[in-house]
């Protein structure tokens, strides 16, 4: 009972933290939901199409959620704005203080769409509309005494569900410095990365682009579920 209450407090606090992130407002809703065309991407000098980009951003988002659960701070620092990084950090600390571990598992994309990509001066700003389904639950991780260990078997779930899937939609905002040529060839192994998401070659792990020159997530706004059926 107490565990359930604590989980409630933790989840409520996380909601507050997420709301703070959502303060980054977006402009007109109508233009927002129009998908960017491949023709447009080609015109502004991109080597990738809208689907490749949108899926890469979905994968980045999934890795961020995984990074939060597994406390991959160095990775999170590289791919998030300071504001979002700090809010995730507060969430992690809060959960630890309450000896609760929040799990997001088996995430799948329902869709991922590039709805805006503009070049503003020396910056590029992209907005990606994603809908994801996943399992979310909280585990009580309070250490057990030897006696309790005899009685308690398996996970101690104190919130959410391991079987009931949730669906959510977000508008993710990402920025990077504008570069005339998008693709980066790894200095060590030559592998070419088209959508640069972090300072690491996906093949050999060498540094390929510092934080300014790869996409960094600076905004995440939850959106009511749309009626779109896919
Ligand atoms: Zn490499």
Token couple for 72: 């991959």
Rounded to the nearest angstrom, the distance between the alpha carbon of 193 and the centre of ligand 1 is 9
Q: Identify the CA nearest to 61 among candidates 129, 116, 123, 15.
A: 129
Q: Is residue 108 part of a domain?
A: yes
Q: Which pLDDT score, from 0 to 100, does residue 5 have?
A: 76
Rounded to the nearest angstrom, the distance between the alpha carbon of 192 and the centre of ligand 1 is 8
Instruction: Name the pTM for this structure.
Output: 0.82
Q: Which domain holds residue 154?
A: 2-223
Other CB atoms within 10 A of residue 104 CB: 17
Binned average pLDDT, 10 residues per bin, the chain of 230 residues: 73 70 54 84 93 97 97 96 97 95 96 96 96 96 91 89 96 95 92 94 94 96 81
At 94, is the secondary structure helix, strand, or coil? helix
Q: Which pLDDT score, from 0 to 100, does residue 30 have?
A: 43
- Strands of the chain, DSSP E: 100-120, 123-140, 157-177, 184-185, 192-193, 216-223
Rounded to the nearest angstrom, the distance between the alpha carbon of 52 and the centre of ligand 1 is 20
Q: Is residue 230 part of a domain?
A: no
Task: Supply the CATH number for residue 23's domain.
Answer: 3.10.450.240
Count structural domains, the chain.
Answer: 1
129 contacts 32 by C-beta, under 8 angstroms: yes
Q: Is residue 228 part of a domain?
A: no
Rounded to the nearest angstrom, the distance between the alpha carbon of 65 and the centre of ligand 1 is 25
Radius of gyration of the chain (CA): 20
Neighbours of ion ligand 1 (CB under 5 A): 186, 188-189, 191, 201, 203-204, 206
């Amino acid at each position: 009972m107490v565990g359930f209450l604590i989980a409630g407090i933790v989840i409520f606090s996380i909601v507050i933290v997420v709301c703070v992130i959502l303060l980054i407002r977006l402009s007109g809703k109508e233009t927002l939901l129009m998908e960017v065309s491949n023709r447009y991407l080609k015109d502004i000098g991109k080597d990738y199409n809208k689907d490749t980009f949108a899926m890469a951003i979905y994968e980045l988002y999934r890795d961020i959620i995984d990074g939060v659960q597994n406390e991959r701070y160095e990775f999170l620092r590289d791919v998030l704005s300071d504001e979002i990084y700090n809010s995730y950090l507060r969430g992690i600390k809060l959960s630890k203080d309450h000896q609760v571990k929040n799990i997001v598992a088996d995430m799948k994309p329902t869709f991922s769409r590039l709805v805006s990509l503009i070049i503003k001066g020396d910056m590029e700003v992209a907005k990606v509309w994603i809908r994801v389904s996943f399992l979310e639950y909280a585990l009580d991780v309070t250490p057990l005494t030897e006696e309790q260990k005899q009685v308690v078997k398996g996970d101690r779930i104190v919130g959410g569900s391991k079987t009931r899937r949730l669906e959510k939609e977000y508008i993710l905002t990402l920025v990077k410095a504008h570069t005339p040529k998008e693709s980066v060839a790894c200095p060590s192994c030559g592998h070419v990365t088209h959508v640069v998401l972090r300072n690491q070659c996906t093949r050999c792990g060498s540094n390929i682009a510092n934080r300014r020159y790869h996409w960094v997530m600076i905004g995440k706004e939850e959106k009511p579920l749309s009626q779109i059926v896919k």
